[in-house]
Amino acid sequence: MTLLESRAEVRRVLEEHRVVAVVGFHPDPTKPAHYVPEYLHRQGYTVIPVNPALAARGESYFGQRAVATLAEIRTPVGVVDVFRRSDRVREHLDDILAMQPLPRVVWLQLGIRDDHTARALMSRGIDVVQDRCMLADHRALL
């Protein structure tokens, strides 16, 4: 697929894909990895937290039980939203590609880029957004 960069492409993702799995979800409401997903939930998105420690404790957020891996999710996911350092994104490639069905988009949050992983995802038909904040784009475009 493609690297999505235009406002129109990003807007289409936000409008069409309402189920978001959040890799690196954080329980602290002062962290972006919590308040961005919380904002999306308040906007009507289904948000699935992905964090092995929270899953091991059986925690739930926004009405969804935390999972340890993306491959555990059985609901079709439109967007995998990644809150991990750029040098850690590649560690999640196999987990993303193990999802059934594959997600439509992988979104790397503001400040996060991994061109190698982006190319690998696009070669499998997954669109990629890099270095953008879903909260800021939602506010600006919708």
pLDDT tens-digit readout, 118-136 = 999 999 999 999 999 999 9
77-91 pLDDT, tens digit per residue, is 999 999 999 999 999
Q: What is the CATH number of domain 7-79+88-111+119-141?
A: 3.40.50.720
Which pair of tokens denotes residue 31?
Answer: 């962290």
Classify strands 79-82 and 19-23 as parallel, antiparallel or unpaired: parallel
CA 71 to chain centroid, in Å, comes to: 13
pTM of the shown model: 0.96
- Residue 89 identity (one-letter amino acid): V
